[in-house]
Amino acid sequence: MNDDRLHEWRHRHRHVLYALRWFAVLAIPATLAVLFVWCAGWFSPRLGPARIVDAFQATTTPHPGFRRNHAKGVCVTGHFVSDGAGTLLSRASVFAHGQYPVVGRLSIPGSDPGQSDGAAPVRSFALRVLLPHGEEWRLAMNSVPVFAVRTPQALFEQLEADARDPGTGRANPAKMQAFLDSHPEARAFGRYLDRHPPSSGYDNATYYGISAFEAVNGEGVHRFVRWEVVPENAYRPADAGRLRDPDFLAYDLMKHLRSGPLRWHLMLNVALPGDTTDDSTRQWAQSPDRMRIDVGTLVIDRAQAQIDGPCRDIIFDPTILPNGIAPSSDPLLAARSATYAESFGRRMREESAAHAGAH
């Protein structure tokens, strides 16, 4: 085939090549996610990741190509500087002395990419840390240290309670009240928000991994840990003036980065006897007996629009972990892994269809 005919063939079949490229991207992580949740016993005849994603979509109008949750966000890049202290708890390569590249995403919860920042009481931070020998560590964190629900079924019921009525375009408060009455554990989430108003920016919030994970050190000692990243910038609550700006979070982030990098300290908290390791609705109590280790500094020095930034096509699956860290039996971990893969697959199919339609 000569060059002209090859060029013509590529032009005619560009959408096919595009779809095949995304099939290759999707096939491996999607298959692994399905196997993971199957082995975890999460799939059932009644509930699976497709129904969870459908329920997220029902909370807003359609937004093809966007994440089904945390639809509004901004990409960030930087690095993690490990001080070596984490090797006490884990043999994971991320805790060895060194500096590791990071791609991340700061966002607010919700399925509408056009929602106002002032409507979001929670900030979220997702990270992909690139490690030696092809390993990665992916973290998905929120500015609240607990989830509102314990199980995938409860999450589905919460989303159904928040679904928009086709007639009014709004959620029915009575449905949400009924959900809260049947799930009293969800009230801990609301109480935390009442005591901790949302931060004035992405830069001065503490972000929590929430679920417990199992750390294994070089001597084979197993401990459960929870982590958080604590900002060097002092927390300030968002004031009424800033809340009137629908995009103040991304604007302020860009402004701060023009003055220099932003830094957080990665803290590992070790479980004490009696601490729950499979329930993300229960926060570990503060205790002077708890081992708490600062294992390094997260440095963010650039931000990019999510539409074409480096975080756009990353699945921030919290079960993608380096050797030396493993998921706990928290049922939400398996559910999040499968749901994120389902959401990613839909986004890529929508993008492929849009690209094919344009040609």
Residue 35 burial (CB count, 10 A): 11
Q: Are residues 294 and 316 in the same domain?
A: yes
Confidence of residue 8 (pLDDT cuts 50, 70, 90): very low
Residue 162, in any domain of the structure? no
pLDDT > 90? residue 357? no
Tell me the percentage of the chain whose pLDDT exceeds 70: 87
Residue 169 lies in a domain: no
Query: How high is the pLDDT of residue 13?
Result: 41
Looking at the structure, do residues 257 and 284 belong to the same domain, yes or no? Answer: yes
Distance (Å, whole) CA 211 – CA 325: 13
pLDDT at 27 over 60: no
Measured in whole angstroms, the distance separating CA 169 from the mean position of its chain's CA atoms is 27
pLDDT bin (cut points 50, 70, 90) of residue 359 is low
Count the domains in the chain: 2
Quote the CA–CA distance of 232 and 268 in Å, as a whole number. Answer: 16
Asked if residue 220 and residue 136 are part of one domain, the reply reads: yes
Confidence of residue 34 (pLDDT cuts 50, 70, 90): very low
Whole domain around residue 333: which residue ranges?
A: 1-69+329-359
The answer as to whether 266 is a domain residue is yes
Residue 352 falls within a domain, yes or no? yes
Residues 236 and 357 placed together within one structural domain of the fold = no
Pair 62, 43: CB distance under 8 Å: no
- Per the DSSP assignment, residues forming a β-bridge with 230 are 265
Q: Do the Cβ atoms of 73 and 306 come closer than 8 Å?
A: yes
Q: 211 with 62, same domain?
A: no
Residue whose pair of structure tokens reads 């082995």 in the numeric block: 39
- For the chain, the average pLDDT equals 89
The neighbour count for residue 82, using CB atoms within 10 Å, is 21
Asked if residue 154 belongs to a domain, the reply is: no
**Structural domain contains residue 348:** yes
Three-class DSSP labels, the chain: CCHHHHHHHHHHCHHHHHHHHHHHHHHHHHHHHHHHHHHCCCCCCCCCHHHHHHHHHCCCCCCCCCCCCCCEEEEEEEEEEECCHHHHCCCCHHHCCEEEEEEEEEEECCCCCCCCHHHCCCCEEEEEEECHHHCEEEEEEECCCCCCCCCHHHHHHHHHHCCECCCCCCECHHHHHHHHHHCHHHHHHHHHHHHCCCECCCCCCCEECCCCEEEECCCCCEEEEEEEEEECCCCCECCHHHHCCCCHHHHHHHHHHHHCCEEEEEEEEECCCCCCCCCCCCCCCCCCCCCEEEEEEEEEEEEEECCCCCCCCCCCCCCCCCCCEEECCCHHHHHHHHHHHHHHHHHHHHHHHHHHHHC
Average pLDDT over residues 298-312: 97
Residue 92's nearest CA partner among 8, 222, 218 is: 218
